[in-house]
Amino acid sequence: MPSPRPGRQLVAAVRALLVATVVLGVGYPLAMTGIAQVIAPSAADGSLVSTADGTVVGSSLLGQGFVDADGAPLPQYFQSRPSASDWDGRASGGSNLGPNSAELADTVAQRRTAVAAFNGVPEADVPADAVTASASGLDPGISPAYAAIQVARVSRERGVPEAEVQQLVAAATTGRDLGFIGAPYVDVLELNLALDRELG
Amino acid sequence: MSGAAAGWLQVGLLVVALAVVHKPLGDWTARVFTSPAHWRAEKLVYRAVGVDPGSDQRWPVYLRSVLAVSVVGVLLLYLLQRVQGLLPLDNGMAPVEPSSAWNTAVSFVTNTNWQGYAGESTMGHLVQMAGLAVQNFVSAAVGLAVLAALVRGFVRQGTDRLGNAWVDITRSITRLLLPLAVVATVVMVLGGVVQNLHSGTDVTTLAGGSQFVPGGPVASQEAIKELGTNGGGFFNANSAHPFEGPTAWVSLFQVFLLLVIPFSLPRTFGRMVGDRKQGFAILGVMATLATISLTLMTVFQARAGGAATQLAGGALEGQEVRFGGPLSSLFATATTLTSTGAINTQHDSLTPLGGMVALFNMMLGEVAPGGVGSGLYGMLVLAVVAVFVAGLMVGRTPEYLGKKLGRREMTLASLYILTTPTIVLVGTAVAIGTAAGRAGMLNDGPHGLTEVLYAFTSAGNNNGSAFGGLSADTTFYNTALGLAMALGRFVPIVLVVALAGRLAEQGRTPVTAGTFPTHRPLFAGLLTAVVLVVVGLTYFPVLALGPLAEGLS
């Protein structure tokens, strides 16, 4: 029978947490890392992707900016969604602006004008994901609608037929998992890598 | 297929999965808390810890064991963060600043996992693994142990013994959380969640810029983060980060993980009290509240309320394209109905009424189904209140599961339901009344009040999700929210274990024609009403000033 002295429970607690730290804090994650590196090494290391010459340019899971040094969008590439954190891998997150925020409303209006002008489409054709920042700041995807309004501009810049660009968009599009989970999206980095690879 | 139809099919798949799993898992958990046999590995643990697994503890001793684990846990986690630079695998991170380290230590030990810091720029891998993830296991196990003690209080008669806290905590981990976490880790790694020990690499992007690609043992932490209804993300963006939530199906799997134990515990309860219908009635109440909540959230989000949302043409600010609206609504609902607080969408950018649903879910006390262990013990206290209300109506001494609910039992139950609202409302009032509190708001007007209210609701109820716009990594918020989390966790635990002690001391009152049956729809309806009325009336004024004012303006 345990003694009613409170100190005894504290000593047991210290020892229990030391055991937990070794087993759950070191043993468990290391064992899981070992298993992961065997069953799915590429995914466990972050689904890295590289160019045709083998240079690693990022992860197919992480969105990145296709912009020049001044932040201007590069017209030969499909553009990602806006990122509240400038696609910084050390500072993931969203804007956290509320649904009635005047600042957000202004930003959305400016983005809509800019995206419409950049792609040469009416403002009404610009979908919501093109003018809003994602939750992670690293969203790898855009909606098929946002990809669609970019096809003409990219093919014009690259001097290739729209049909060929459209084929690559289709190849980079992921439907709903099992047909009903989530939403369809186009992986922008995969798409742009394919553009460089297939269409120069 | 339309987006809405696909969205409801996702819910259907989730419901079927939970329905299939809750029976075997609930029965297994009942065995975990009743089996007389110890596993060999567990005996080794008891020897290392220096406790006698055969001893049956009186309720004050049981309580002291549970509290000792928590107090030592806070100290150890605080220390680890403060000295991380001296340890291996620190990834070059500086020691965590004291008020932030206190807040985080309390946060993870209380199963809240509120995060004032950004994981990828604050915590090295060792603190993530050996500090934070360990508490993900232990805090969930403490919740389960307290639940086991309360259920034994109903089952046992004429004794002052409630079981052994060390055995309950150990078995919760060895027989439930750890095996499930291993399976969940493997599934998530196959789904693309990262699991490595790299400190991350800087790559040159396709456009010639630079991007940091982080590394870390993410999947193993993600698994227990959801299973233990903890919610503290490896990265700042939590499960919205593509390395934590790479695809839609993985995100749906995470919703399943955070609901699976809480929704099977009513079955465990029914098994342990020897009447499965009692568990079924509780499950019915939880499922009803969850269904209402999810429906409201999905509808409000689809209607895209808010001037900026309307201008954008949809509620996509703070949302990931691959998840889409319905799955984001489902995750936001599930994470606030449990005590998880993980997110796959930014709650601050939810529509005004959608944000209110998330807030209200937590205000319900997280009982539908609530956190691991804590959800069901909260619901059982509310059941005691519901039986008492029914007793008042017919003028009989109320009884629940053969236990009379007298003055002392009702005092403890009443204190329980008053504790969290007091913490939340006083905390919010202090923050709004001080310059340090007001300084943290990102948005102004009613939405700013909602940010502060959300923070204290989340901390007081040990949820941990946030309206991320609030700058909470300040001395004021780290301290105040740390206090709210500690009080919101440990005051209820003290009351529940004391209540369990009182109940166990009683004999069993035989069922008579006048006993109010607590396994019928009438009781389930009454309990639902009690949950909604108690909470609704407490919080209605502040909800009217915050999200309602914003949503209806």
The structure tokens 């983060």 sit at: B225
Q: State which amino acid sits at residue A23.
A: V
Helices B248-273 and B374-394, interaxial angle, to 10°?
A: 50
CB pair distance less than 8 Å for A177 and B247:
yes
Reported for A154-157, long-range contacts at CB under 8 A and 24+ positions apart, including other chains, are: A154/A75, A154/A76, A154/A77, A154/A78, A154/A195, A157/A75, A157/A76
Question: Is the separation of the CB atoms in A119 and A153 below 8 Å?
Answer: yes
Hey, where are the domains in chain A? Answer: 6-41, 48-199
Which residues lie below 8 Å from residue A20, measured CB to CB, with a gap of 6+? B134, B137, B138, B173
pLDDT tens for each residue of B104-156: 999 999 999 999 888 888 999 999 999 999 999 999 999 999 999 999 999 99
Residue A2 confidence class, pLDDT cut points 50, 70, 90? very low
| B292: its two tokens | 């209402």
- For residue B369, cis peptide bond before it (omega within 30 degrees of 0): yes
**Based on the number of CB atoms within 10 Å of its own CB, is A197 exposed (0-12), middle (13-18) or buried (19 or more)?**
exposed
Q: How many CB pairs under 8 A join A and B?
A: 385
Q: Is the pLDDT of residue B373 over 60?
A: yes
Number of C-alpha atoms within 13 angstroms, CB side, residue B308? 28
- How many angstroms separate the CA atoms of B22 and A200, rounded? 54
- Residue B488's alpha-carbon distances to B253, B437, B448, in angstroms, are 29, 20, 23
Q: Which two tokens stand for residue B528?
A: 């639902």
- Minimum Cα–Cα distance from B50: chain A residue: A12
| Dihedral of alpha carbons B501, B504, B507, B511, sign | positive
C-alpha A93 chain-centroid distance: 11
Report chain B residues whose CB lies below 8 A from the CB of A127.
Answer: 313-314
Measured between CA atoms, the residue of chain A closest to residue B470 is A96
DSSP result, B9-42: HHHHHHHHHHHHHHHHHHHHHHHHHH--PPPHHH
- Measured distance between the N- and C-terminal CA atoms of chain B, rounded to whole angstroms: 34
Q: Which of B539, B544, B504, B342 is nearest to B421 (CA)?
A: B539
pLDDT for A6: 58
State residue B303's pLDDT score.
93
Give the residue from B444, B452, B502 showing the smallest Cα distance to B480.
B452
Would you say residue B252 has pLDDT above 70? yes
Q: What is the pLDDT of residue A1?
A: 43
Number of residues assigned to chain B: 553
Helix ranges (DSSP H) in B228-275? 248-273
Q: In a 10 Å sphere around its CB, with 0-12 CB exposed, 13-18 middle and 19+ buried, how is residue B247 labelled?
A: buried
C-alpha to C-alpha distance for B207 and A196, rounded to whole angstroms: 11
Q: Do residue A95 and residue B349 have CB atoms under 8 angstroms apart?
A: yes
Residues B414-435 have pLDDT tens digits of 999 999 999 999 999 999 999 9
Average pLDDT rounded to a whole number, residues B212-218: 96
Q: How many Å is the maximal CA-CA distance in chain A?
A: 84
Give helix B59-82 / helix A6-20 axis angle, nearest 10°. Answer: 50
Task: Please give the average per-residue pLDDT across A53-74, as a whole number.
Answer: 95
8 A C-beta contact, residue B155 and residue B273: yes
Q: For residues B495 and B501, what is the distance between their CA atoms, to the nearest angstrom?
A: 10
Higher pLDDT, A3 or B386: B386
State whether residue A54 is helix, strand or coil.
coil
Compute the mean pLDDT over every residue in chain B, rounded to the nearest whole number.
Answer: 94
Residue B553 has pLDDT above 80, yes or no: no
Q: Which of A5, A10, A17, A112 to mutate to test the interface with B (most CBs of B within 10 A)?
A: A17
On chain A, the residues whose CB falls within 8 A of the CB of B127 are: none
Cβ distance A91 to B118 less than 8 Å, yes or no, reads yes
What is the predicted pLDDT for the residue at A5? 62
Tokens matching residue B288:
């009803």
Cα separation, B176 vs B195, in Å, equals: 22
Q: Map residue B76 onto helix, strand or coil.
A: helix
Residues 64-103 of A with CB under 8 A from B: 64-69, 74, 77, 81, 87-102
Looking from the CA of B259 toward its CB, the CA atoms found within 13 Å total 30
What does the pLDDT read at residue B344?
A: 96
pLDDT digits (tens, 9 = 90+) for B468-509: 889 988 999 999 999 999 999 999 999 999 999 999 999 999
Average pLDDT, stretch B369-395? Answer: 94
- Sequence-distant (≥ 6) Cβ neighbours of residue A102 within 8 angstroms: B308
Q: How many other CB atoms are there within 10 angstroms of residue A67's CB atom? A: 19
At A135 the three-state DSSP class reads coil
Q: From chain A, pick out residues whose CB is under 8 angstroms from the CB of B246.
A: 47, 61
Domain ranges for chain B = 3-202+210-552
Q: What does the alpha-carbon distance between residue B259 and residue B323 come to, in Å, rounded to a whole number?
A: 19
pLDDT at A4: 53
Q: Is residue A48 helix, strand or coil?
A: strand
